[in-house]
Structure 1
Amino acid sequence: MSEQQRHQFERGTDGPKVIVAGIDGSESSMRAAAYAAGLARRQNATLALVYVQPLMVAGAALGAPVSGTTGDVAESLINEIRTSTERMKDTWDVRWEFHTFPGDPYNGLVTAADELKADAVVVGASESAGHRIIGSVAVRLVKAGRWPVTVVP
């Protein structure tokens, strides 16, 4: 075995260390976060909750402030997460982090998973009928083939 092969980074050798869960406030994303928290607890991994802040939303074209709106969503999500973890702290302990990344959901989650060196990605199933035609974020993540992806209904 060469020196380079021995020191090469390998994901998932002793179970996941970082599990990324994409959240956006939807019911399916919150179920995905809960599922990912259970995985993180059982695997003694860090749960990285990721909210992808859209760069441009429909309201921006009409003059609505985008950064304030997406910032409010992020603040609301972090408050909900803190409340949930405080309520559950006696039942189970999970190391968690909250991250925001700019962009569209797919590229934001890819960037997050790469930067955080994710061993697994958990997302909620899309609730949009249009995604049956163009493909959902979950399907695109699975097709990327870079991490194990769990899609929670």
Structure 2
Amino acid sequence: MNKEEIYQNIILQVKGLTSAESDLMANLANISAVLYNNLEEVNWAGFYLWKEDQLVLGPFQGKSACVRIAKGKGVCGSAIEKRETLVVKDVHDFPGHIACDAASSSEVVVPIIIDNQIKGVLDIDSPIKDRFDKVDQKYLEEVVAILIRETEWKYSI
């Protein structure tokens, strides 16, 4: 399968999982697993949730990760600060990059914003430089749109 076909399959899985379930943690956990197990050359896939003016580690697949990230710090914090998706070809060239896993070389981060309020980010890492592109951005933004639409965004951690 080519990249578009892989993502179309991912979208179908995400829609199927979230159409019957609105629980935030269940949906974040399942989407992390779908992305991690279906995307090629990925070593981390998961979410950080906005809590107490910082990003706090949420459900993910991969090695252990940084637990808290301040707004404006690293790729995740920068995506929140800019309120836009960031596709980073080489994280080692990104000013202020936080190296949670030294094996990661590229990253894509999609902010989750509902009614102008920050809710968190979807974060995907790869050990391959220049792994992510506009196709990844398009479909990962679609995954986040489905998540926002199908999930009840109430949680207490």
Larger Cα-atom Rg:
1
Query: TM exceeds 0.5?
Result: no
Query: Which TM-score band (shorter chain)?
Result: 0.3 to 0.5
Specify which structure has the higher proportion of helix: 1
Q: Which has the higher contact order (CA 8 A, sep 6+)?
A: 1
Specify which structure has the higher proportion of strand: 2
TM, length-normalised to structure 1: 0.32
TM, length-normalised to structure 2: 0.32
